[in-house]
Structure 1
Amino acid sequence: MGNVVVVENVTLDGVMQAPAAADEDQRGGFAYGGWAVPYMDQVMAETMGTGMRAEGAMLFGRRTYEHLRGAWADRTDGNPYTEVLNRRRKYVASRTLRDPLPWQNSTLLDGDAVAAVAALKREFDGNLAVLGSGELVRALLRADLVDVLTLSIHPLTLGTGTRLLDGVWTTLDLTDTVPTTTGVIIATYRRRRA
């Protein structure tokens, strides 16, 4: 059985929207895109790189899939993330995309996303890493399908924006913390089962 591992950048007030670029996600008039960039350091790069090197597949919602495909699919820059993102199997939950998907090694999940991920999790051996994909993450949390959350908690509040855990009640056990030189705490939590 596979493990669903959610990897997210969040602010202290739980905002996950548009951490990497000013124009990444401006839904709702969000004006703070790129908020995570000033907090990147070598500690974060090494910690996230270790996670990226772990075997498994990736799981995305449509919006994140399209954003990452646009940013990474055609790169030839030698960045280690480029090879992982292009080579790794990618499963995509979407009600609007159709096969064939344009990014190599991409598979569209059929039907209801929660049911499809539950079936995939039963069949898959390894980690299914979810990056971004807030709507999908919240649905999977409500369905008790998330096993691990790795949150890079940034020392700022935005007061607005899409929150990762909005409307989700869950209990977690802290399993690891890594402080960075910029004040980010990379905290790994395992979902506590009833």
Structure 2
Amino acid sequence: MGRIEIELFTTLDLVGQAPGGPEEDPEGGFAFGGWQAPLLDEVAGAQIATAYEGTDALLLGRRTYDIFASYWPFQEGGQDDEFASLFNRVPKYVASRGTPELSWAGSTVLGPDLPTAVREVRDRHEHVKVVGSLDLVQTLLHEKLFDRLDLWVHPVVLGSGKTVFESGAVPTNLTLLEPPAPSPSGTVLLRYGLAEGTPRTGDMSEPGRGVDQDA
């Protein structure tokens, strides 16, 4: 069985909508499309490139797929050749409520039973990357159908927009897989793995919890 790894760019208030450009996702009248661009630096760029090493399949929502399909097939041999070569080569699996015609080579629409279809993709590949696709991510988080969650948290607060954890998120434990990695712009990469169980509770007034008993 392979791994499903979610890659997301977010703000401090965990807005993940339309980081790449004004027209990426204006749903809901979102006014901050392209908020990531002024904060991208070489360190974060290198982190992103490293995160995609070993990728052998992409799992995308329909909106993200359409954006990618209009761009990446035309980029090989150019500035973005490394990513273009990867994205054009690997299979693309698309979550859609409709029956779209997918023109990008290697693309497949997932069946209506999304959790089952995603599990089949994970059984078929070693490293499946989920890029953006916030609506799809909501399903994966709800079903706990992921193995790793990479969050590039940027030093801005937007106060509106689609967030990584929408209302209805299920209680979930995560474990930090490596130390947080900052970039010069103030962006921090947080890499989490899915952990067993659900969050526990406690009482900070209990002896030895959060209070120095000798103070």
Query: Fold-level match, TM-score > 0.5?
Result: yes
Give 2:190's aligned residue. 187
Residue aligned with 1:53, SS: coil
Give the greater-gyration-radius structure (CA): 2
Q: Does 1:102 align with 2:83?
A: no
Give 2:172's aligned residue. 170
Structural mapping, 1:3-14, within 5 Å: 3-14=3-14
Identify which of structures 1 and 2 has the higher relative contact order when contacts are C-alpha pairs closer than 8 Å and 6+ apart: 1
Q: Does 1:156 align with 2:159?
A: no
Instruction: Give the superposition deviation at 1:170.
Output: 2.1
Residue aligned with 1:7, SS: strand
Inter-partner Cα distance in structure 2 for 1:20 and 1:120? 27
Residue aligned with 2:31, SS: coil
Letter in 1 for 2:187: V
Give 1:73's aligned residue. 73
Give ranges in structure 2 of 5+ residues lacking alignment.
Answer: 198-215
Letter in 2 for 1:4: I
Aligned length in residues: 192
Q: Deviations over 1:12-71 (max 9, x none)?
A: 101000001012111000010000011111111111111223232110011111111112
Question: How large is the Cα RMSD of the aligned pairs?
Answer: 1.3
Instruction: Give the superposition deviation at 1:78.
Output: 4.2
Give ranges in structure 1 of 5+ residues lacking alignment.
Answer: none
Structural mapping, 1:1-194, within 5 Å: 1-76=1-76, 77-79=78-80, 80-99=82-101, 101-121=102-122, 123-167=123-167, 168=169, 169-176=171-178, 177-194=180-197
Letter in 2 for 1:94: S
Q: TM-score under structure 1 normalisation? A: 0.94
22-31 or 76-85: bigger deviation:
76-85
Inter-partner Cα distance in structure 2 for 1:179 and 1:124? 34
Identity in percent: 35
Residue aligned with 1:68, SS: helix
Inter-partner Cα distance in structure 1 for 2:154 and 2:44? 11
Conserved? CA contact 2:55–2:128, under 8 Å = no
Inter-partner Cα distance in structure 2 for 1:170 and 1:12? 20
